[in-house]
């Protein structure tokens, strides 16, 4: 009987080793062979031509994207053209402004010279009238409009103006006096009060 139990023990160990080898083969198959088979299947699926519906949708999408890219490129070109036109217009405006500033400066200088020249001419003419004989100056003043003549009389030295006025016809002298007296009638005499 002892021999029989040793035999059974040997047979049981053999079963265990065989079971372990089978389990190891199954595990290897599951971890190495099955993923490789799945990869082969996916490669075969990928190599198969796409269905006509998917290919048509892809072509439509690609055409839409290309059309959109073309529109964006055209829009960008239009914007660049507009920016260039704006820069050009801005440069022209700046040039014209510079020309206007130069013209304004030249005009201001001309006006200043004209004002100075006019003042110089009036001052010289006033000096001429002051140095004339009162009777001759009075004859000239009698021919002038009252405002014009009064302007000269207002610029003259008081003694020279008085001599000319005495030589004028009383009505003419009166009209000159009215103009002289009224020249500054519109000037305010009282300064407005300000609240502190």
pLDDT digits (tens, 9 = 90+) for 114-172: 777 778 888 888 899 899 999 999 999 999 998 988 888 888 999 998 999 899 999 99
Token pair of 95 as six digits: 């040039």
**Please, what sign has the CA dihedral across residues 80, 84, 89, 91?**
positive
Distance, in Å, from the CA atom of 73 to the CA atom of 77, rounded to the nearest integer, reads 6
Token pair of 149 as six digits: 């003549």
Tokens 């299947």, residue located: 41
The pLDDT score that the predictor gives to residue 83 is 92
Of all residues in the chain, the percent with pLDDT exceeding 70 is 76
Alpha helices by DSSP H, listed for the chain, are 2-28, 34-47, 52-131, 134-143, 146-155, 158-167, 170-182
Query: What is the rounded average pLDDT for all residues in the chain?
Result: 80
Q: How many CA atoms lie within 13 A of 14 on its CB side?
A: 6
Q: Under a CB-based contact definition with an 8 Å cutoff, are residues 162 and 195 in contact?
A: no
pLDDT digits over 70-97, tens only?
999 999 999 999 999 999 999 999 999 9
Among left, alpha and beta (phi > 0; psi -120 to 50; other), residue 98 is alpha
Tokens 């059309």, residue located: 67
Tokens 């005009």, residue located: 107
**Please, what sign has the CA dihedral across residues 123, 126, 132, 133?**
negative
Q: What are phi and psi of 48, to 5 degrees?
A: -70, 140
Among 57-61, 92-96, 168-172, 181-185, the range scoring the smallest mean pLDDT is 181-185
Of all residues in the chain, the percent with pLDDT exceeding 90 is 26
Distance, in Å, from the CA atom of 146 to the CA atom of 130, rounded to the nearest integer, reads 18
The pLDDT score that the predictor gives to residue 196 is 47
Closest CA to 129 of 160, 106, 159: 160
């Amino acid at each position: 009987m002892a021999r029989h139990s040793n035999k059974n023990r040997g047979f049981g160990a053999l079963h265990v080793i065989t079971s372990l080898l089978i389990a190891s083969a199954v595990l290897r198959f599951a971890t190495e062979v099955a993923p490789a088979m799945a990869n082969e299947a996916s490669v075969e699926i990928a190599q198969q031509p796409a269905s006509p519906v998917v290919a048509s949708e892809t072509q439509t999408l690609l055409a839409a994207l290309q059309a959109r890219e073309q529109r964006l490129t055209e829009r960008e070109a239009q914007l660049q053209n507009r920016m260039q036109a704006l820069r050009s217009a801005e440069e022209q405006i700046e040039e014209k402004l510079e020309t206007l500033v130069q013209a304004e400066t030249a005009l201001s200088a001309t006006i200043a010279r004209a004002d100075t020249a006019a003042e110089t001419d009036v001052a010289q003419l006033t000096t001429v009238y002051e140095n004339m004989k009162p009777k001759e100056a009075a004859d000239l003043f009698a021919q002038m409009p009252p405002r014009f003549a009064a302007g000269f009389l207002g610029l003259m030295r008081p003694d020279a103006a008085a001599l000319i006025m005495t030589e004028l016809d009383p009505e003419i002298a009166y009209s000159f006096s009215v103009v002289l007296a009224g020249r500054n009638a519109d000037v305010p005499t009282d300064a407005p009060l300000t609240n502190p």
